[in-house]
Amino acid sequence: MFRGISSINLDGKGRLAIPTRYREELQDCCECQMVVTVAVNERCVGENGCLWLYPMPEWEKLEQTISKLPTLNKMAGKLRRFVIGNASECEMDGQGRLLLPEKLRTFANVDKKIVLVGQLNKFELWNEEAWGAKESEWLDGDDNEGLEDLGSLSF
């Protein structure tokens, strides 16, 4: 399970170093084989987006779920083209680095400073400024839309 937020710098080649606290778990769960793709549920201020980074076994579960969607459903087709079509396999090297494809770096406007956000079964990758803006939006907003969908969840 991945949790927490880490600030990371991309190197000049577009690589990010996975924080050491996650490396052993990633070695154990997926032998450092991962998939990065565009996130479909978040679009930020300006042209910034978010990327999803999955360990391979979690990615394969998502692919199975998506493959079962009706082929003639327009939204399912868009989801397939967007998420699967933009997916790129990446392997963590001996120093714990992953190379992010240029197309995905451009999509999420990640160039130097990024934020890695644990989301239990995957990570989100954000441009640091976009993350700060989104976090402020969430904290400042009083939008409770969908809150009722959480049922009896309590903290």
Query: How does pLDDT run across 2-55, given as a tens digit for each residue?
Result: 999 999 999 999 999 999 999 999 999 999 999 999 998 755 444 568 999 999
Give the chain's domain count: 1
**Amino acid, single-letter form, for residue 128:** E
Residue 154 lies in a domain: no
User: Is residue 68 included in any domain, yes or no?
Assistant: yes
Sequence-distant (6+) residues with CB within 8 A of 73 are none
**Is the residue at 149 inside a domain?**
no
Residue 62 included in any domain = yes
What is the sign, positive or negative, of the torsion defined by CA atoms of 128, 129, 132, 134?
negative
What domain range is 99 assigned to? 5-139
Which burial class, exposed, middle or buried, applies to 42 when counting CB atoms under 10 A from its CB (0-12, 13-18, 19+)? Answer: middle
In a domain, 145, yes or no: no
Judge whether 108 lies within some domain. yes
Residue 63, in any domain of the structure: yes
Whole-number percent of the chain with pLDDT over 90: 75
Q: What is the Cα 103 distance to its own chain's centre? A: 15
Question: How much is the pTM?
Answer: 0.88
Q: How far is CA 1 from the centre of its chain?
A: 14
**Mean pLDDT to the nearest integer, 58-83:** 94
- Could you tell me if residue 146 is inside a domain? no
User: Domain holding 54: CATH number?
Assistant: 3.40.1550.20
Cβ atoms of 153 and 134 closer than 8 Å: no
